[in-house]
Amino acid sequence: MTVPDAGQALHLRGIVLPDGEPGELWVAGGVICADPVPGAATACDGGYILPGLVDAHCHIGIGPRGPASLDEAAQQATTDRDAGTLLIRDCGSPIDTRPLQSRDDLPRIIRAGRHLARPKRYIPTIGLELDEPRLLPQAVREQAAAGDGWVKLIGDWIDRSTGDLAPLWPDDVLAEAIAAAHDAGARVTAHVFSADALPGLLDAGIDCIEHGTGLSSATIAKMAAQGTALVPTLINIETFPAIADRAAKYPRYAAHMRALHARVQDAVGAAIEAGISIYAGSDAGGGIRHGRLVDEIVALHSAGLSGAQALAAASWAARDWLGAPGLVPGAPADLLVTRTDPRLDPHTLRHPALLLLRGRVVGTRR
């Protein structure tokens, strides 16, 4: 692999994924070209060429103590970029990260606006807290206008009056709110740990479930039937025992979190068998450090996705779901090259031989 000059036309030769056939790509002006480009520098001659990785659940702008500064958010995005993530679905942020979208050196960001929650029913200072559930539809309209086609709800959280996880919204309000988002051309996703919040969200036509540790055979069947996606954030769920340890004051909640952790592999495995579309999300921001998407790919493989499926969940399939092109003529040249087949060994993604963002070499080569 050679490192070309900035802005130089490039030529790449290798096994092109997802097709898995030998091929050649040319890059000029930051995009993939339909025809060979005379004088292009060969940046890659061998290896595996694949669309840049996608973190479908990431929080650019949440720090360990709450809202981050814009400079801190930029560093978070840089860390993700250097680990191969070139497209982020920012699944809720307390700060306006639109200035980062104009930076050519940072991953492309699809924003979901602010988390929508109830008072004392989510992490303090992170979400918009609505005093009354009936305010949700209007808040959804506002966040649909402020984001990039996604709205993020908090579906359940600990209710300290009962000492356990509980839904935040009545079913009729959810139906009106999700319909309002769809009318505005936006999709809706929700943070959901427990089983109780899922039926109302699914009946309302939600587009995606985050975490989904409370999935049952009935809710899995409904998700599969109506095409609801799942982003399980398995490396986040590994923190559940530690959360339970800190929640000794609420023994029912602590026991519930441990039980959800214990059954997550079975729940995700059943979702895979049912044919639910599953995408990779690290849940980076706050408790999960940035740059860990490959850990999530490995975890999805361990949960039952084949190597190719786990990679697709963080690359070409995720791009198609989010409306971003892969390695086709006219598409932005956002790609990475690995020395060995990442479908067989996802750990090779930790050390890409080449990383291109908008046709330019970026990141730290190791």
Q: Does 70 lie in the same domain as 151? A: yes
Q: Does 112 lie in the same domain as 89? A: yes
Q: Does 203 lie in the same domain as 106? A: yes
Q: Does 61 lie in the same domain as 39? A: no
Q: Can you give the pTM of this predicted structure? A: 0.96
Q: Does 222 lie in the same domain as 237? A: yes
Q: Does 172 lie in the same domain as 297? A: yes
Query: Tokens representing 200?
Result: 């109302």
Q: Of 317, 334, 351, which residue is a domain's last?
A: 317
Q: Does 270 lie in the same domain as 144? A: yes
User: What is the phi/psi pair of residue 148, to 5°?
Assistant: -120, 50
Please compute the mean of the pLDDT values over residues 163-178 and round it to a whole number. Answer: 98
3 belongs to a structural domain: no
Q: Is the pLDDT of residue 38 over 60?
A: yes
Instruction: Please tell me the distance from the alpha carbon of residue 73 to that of residue 79, in angstroms, as a whole number.
Output: 10
Instruction: Please tell me the distance from the alpha carbon of residue 178 to that of residue 197, in angstroms, as a whole number.
Output: 14
The CA distances from residue 350 to 289, 297, 345, 364, in Å, are 15, 11, 10, 11
Average of per-residue pLDDT values in the chain: 96
pLDDT tier for residue 5 given thresholds of 50, 70 and 90: low
Q: Does 223 lie in the same domain as 89? A: yes
Q: Is the pLDDT of residue 236 over 50?
A: yes
94 belongs to a structural domain: yes
Q: Does 31 lie in the same domain as 101? A: no
Within 10 angstroms of residue 218's Cβ, the number of other Cβ atoms is 12
Q: Does 188 lie in the same domain as 207? A: yes
Name the domain count of the chain: 2
Please tell me the predicted confidence (pLDDT) of residue 366.
Answer: 44
Please tell me the predicted confidence (pLDDT) of residue 365.
Answer: 52
Q: Which residues form the domain of 198?
A: 53-317
Span 74-119, pLDDT tens digits: 999 999 999 999 999 999 999 999 999 999 999 999 999 999 999 9
Q: Does 312 lie in the same domain as 172? A: yes
Q: Does 210 lie in the same domain as 276? A: yes
